[in-house]
Amino acid sequence: MAEIIQRSLNGAEASPSAFDKDLPDWMKRVLLARGVSTSEELNTDLSGLHSPLSMLGMSAAVELLQGAITQSQKILILGDYDADGATSCALAVRALQAMGAIDVDFLVPDRFKFGYGLSPEIVDVAAQRKPDLLITVDNGISSVEGVERAKTLGMQVIITDHHLPGEHLPAADAIINPNQPGCEFPTKCLAGVGVLFHLMAALRSYLREQGWFEQQKISEPNLAQWLDIVALGTVADLVPLDQTNRLLVSQGLKRIRSGRGNPGVRALLDVAGKDWQHTRSSDLGFTVGPRINAAGRLEDISLGIQCLLTEDESEARRIASQLHQLNLDRRSIEQQMRQEAETALTVLDLNSEELPWGLCLYQEDWHSGVVGLIASRIKDKWHRPTIVFAGEEQGDQLKGSGRSINGLHIRDALEAVSTQNPGLILQFGGHAMAAGLTLSKANYAKFSEAFDAEVRNRLDASALSEKVLTDGELPADQIGLDSAKLIESISPWGQAFPEPLFEGEFEVEDVRILKESHLKLRLRSGGAVNAIEAIWFSVPSEYLNLRQGQAGLFVYRLAINRFRGRETEQLMIEQFRPI
């Protein structure tokens, strides 16, 4: 059972002077607990972006791109097979073409044949298209051998990435990555598409200074027109929503809501039954992103990229329908794999030392495109760093995807395992909370033991207990539509800037079971005149028997229920403790 804890303000205190605009005390506390202490930090105007030129390698990359465009060279974008990679590809193609590049194409490795990144093998495939300039997006920072192969074949190479670098950097002509050593760019949290957006902004400024747009009689592109694509990749990649990322996502959401968004993004919202006029960041993360990702997980991410590239509304709807079906197929595969994984774990006694602190799971016939999702589900249920592996159709290697919990940087843990056991891991990379790796099948057992030992070395037992952080109790007179609208107005909420989560004691006035696993509730707090509607999705089986008159501590989000043109407040229940 999760422990419910109120968020700490880290010594900060809410006060009338903490913010320039008039906010209720409960919202000041919410913001202070997320490290925001001034109204300026809530600014989402584009003028708040940092200069792209403060990013190491930017000038060199811009000069290479300017030369490629003005000399009509062939530019090939080398992408990645997730939503961040897909949005980065789409943005690169759209922006470069708008700035006058006449020969731009993209290539994404087949994850089942080539794996991740700029490998020597995918460089040989790229070489068949005879590119002059190869640009990686959302990958490449660890591709030492791939860049070496590309240079041998006469290609110029620009790396744009956001992943953490290894010990050695590739010998590319330019590297754009805020996380590379020596880069003084203020934020280190950009997604791959955010890095690419800054490169395109710097390139446009340089071409403007050179008089390129006037000479060619082409309109200087407004990069803001693609911010919905940037927002999608940023949210889907689960990067922390610091001030820069909140700005990018906020501007992208505004474009979608105003009807000026990308036809493909709008079509993906439509097939999922979402109202694009009220799009939230969670819709990008849980609705649009998974449909783009489904193409990369099961087939070819190029289908998702094409959805983001087309300007034809009917074509966008057609592709979106295909992606929607792929997502349904993905869900079916995921459900079966999840059941098999959970069955394998339930044979272990959770109260003993048998269950590893660092979980590794493997089944030969599992789908390698879905193992990351299973790792996430198992991590959430057992609250332990988890890596799930699948075998290749041919060969003796395993491909794994890992997800971590707070307190354990999973990429650093893998690096430690690799250092202590040379040759054990064939390849790895990732972030603090997610990573991928490749092993020989013969080394699975040894790796599992080494990973568990490293997790035990880095964590203490208390870290393995789930903790639900709340923003305390929302005063009864503040539980209403105005507060829900205020929360929505300060969005986007997301990774490392979570939506407010409140706790409060309520009595159940009415309850209905929906579709066997959800509850529709009407709750009343002490002293309140009116009851409030609430919904609880995927209710644990032990709480499906809630009855009228039952009192308890509810943990909830305050949201707006929009139905047939009417807006009402609604509690979205996350946790419950009977009183």
Tell me the residue ranges of DSSP E strands in 162-270.
174-176
With respect to residue 250, please indicate whether it lies within any of the assigned structural domains.
yes
Residue 299: predicted pLDDT: 84
Res. 19 pLDDT band, cuts 50 70 90: confident
**Structural domains of the chain, count:** 3
Query: For residues 90 and 35, which has the higher predicted lDDT (pLDDT)?
Result: 90
The arithmetic mean of pLDDT across residues 62-75, rounded, is: 98
Residue 348: predicted pLDDT: 62
Residue 410: predicted pLDDT: 95
474: domain CATH number is 2.40.50.460
pLDDT tens digits, one per residue of 81-129: 899 999 999 999 999 999 999 999 999 987 777 777 899 999 999 999 9
Q: Are residues 301 and 425 in the same domain?
A: no
Residue 524: predicted pLDDT: 93
pLDDT tens digits, one per residue of 404-432: 998 999 999 999 999 999 999 998 888 88
Q: Are residues 252 and 382 in the same domain?
A: no
Using the 8-state DSSP alphabet, how is residue 5 labeled?
E
With respect to residue 332, please indicate whether it lies within any of the assigned structural domains.
no
Q: Are residues 228 and 358 in the same domain?
A: no
The arithmetic mean of pLDDT across residues 357-373, rounded, is: 93
With respect to residue 343, please indicate whether it lies within any of the assigned structural domains.
no
Residue 110: predicted pLDDT: 78
Closest CA to 151 of 168, 167, 174: 174
Q: Are residues 282 and 246 in the same domain?
A: yes
- Considering the chain, what is the average pLDDT of its residues? 92
Res. 394 pLDDT band, cuts 50 70 90: low
Q: To the nearest whole percent, how much of the chain has pLDDT over 90?
A: 79
435 neighbors 427 (Cβ within 8 angstroms): no
Domain boundary (433, 464, 495) is at 464
For 377, the domain range is 348-464
pLDDT tens digits, one per residue of 463-482: 998 889 999 999 998 999 99
414: domain CATH number is 3.10.310.30
Q: Are residues 75 and 224 in the same domain?
A: yes
Q: Are residues 307 and 444 in the same domain?
A: no
Domain boundary (405, 436, 464) is at 464
Each as own residue / partner, the long-range contacts of residues 94-98 (CB below 8 Å, 24 or more positions apart, any chain) are: 94/226, 94/229, 94/309, 95/200, 95/203, 95/204, 95/221, 95/223, 95/226, 96/65, 96/69, 96/200, 98/218, 98/221
With respect to residue 421, please indicate whether it lies within any of the assigned structural domains.
yes
Give the C-alpha separation, 309 to 558, whole Å: 36
Q: Are residues 235 and 192 in the same domain?
A: yes
Residue 14: predicted pLDDT: 46
Q: For 45-54, 304-313, 455-464, 520-529, which range has the lowest pLDDT when averaged over its residues?
A: 520-529
Domain boundary (464, 482, 500) is at 464
With respect to residue 275, please indicate whether it lies within any of the assigned structural domains.
yes
Q: Are residues 25 and 170 in the same domain?
A: no
pLDDT tens digits, one per residue of 549-564: 999 999 999 999 998 8
Residue 17: predicted pLDDT: 57
Quote the radius of gyration of the chain (alpha carbons, Å): 25
Q: Are residues 458 and 488 in the same domain?
A: no
Q: Are residues 110 and 69 in the same domain?
A: yes
* Residue 310 in tokens: 């087309």
Q: Are residues 488 and 446 in the same domain?
A: no
Q: Are residues 230 and 136 in the same domain?
A: yes
4 neighbors 553 (Cβ within 8 angstroms): yes
Distances (CA, A) of 109 to 96, 112, 125: 21, 8, 9
Give the C-alpha separation, 63 to 402, whole Å: 38
Residue 132: predicted pLDDT: 98
Residues 6+ apart with CB under 8 A from 239: 162, 189, 190, 191, 194, 245, 495
532-536 and 566-578 beta bridge pairing: parallel
Torsion angle defined by CA atoms of residues 125, 131, 132 and 135, in that order, rounded to the nearest 10 degrees: -70
Res. 30 pLDDT band, cuts 50 70 90: very high
pLDDT tens digits, one per residue of 495-539: 999 999 999 999 999 999 998 899 999 999 876 778 999 999 999
Whether the predicted pLDDT of 344 surpasses 80: yes
With respect to residue 115, please indicate whether it lies within any of the assigned structural domains.
yes
388 neighbors 369 (Cβ within 8 angstroms): no
Residue 12: predicted pLDDT: 53
Give the C-alpha separation, 179 to 171, whole Å: 16
Give the C-alpha separation, 315 to 306, whole Å: 9
Residue 393: predicted pLDDT: 63
Q: For 15-19, 160-164, 226-230, 438-442, which range has the lowest pLDDT when averaged over its residues?
A: 15-19
With respect to residue 206, please indicate whether it lies within any of the assigned structural domains.
yes
With respect to residue 312, please indicate whether it lies within any of the assigned structural domains.
yes
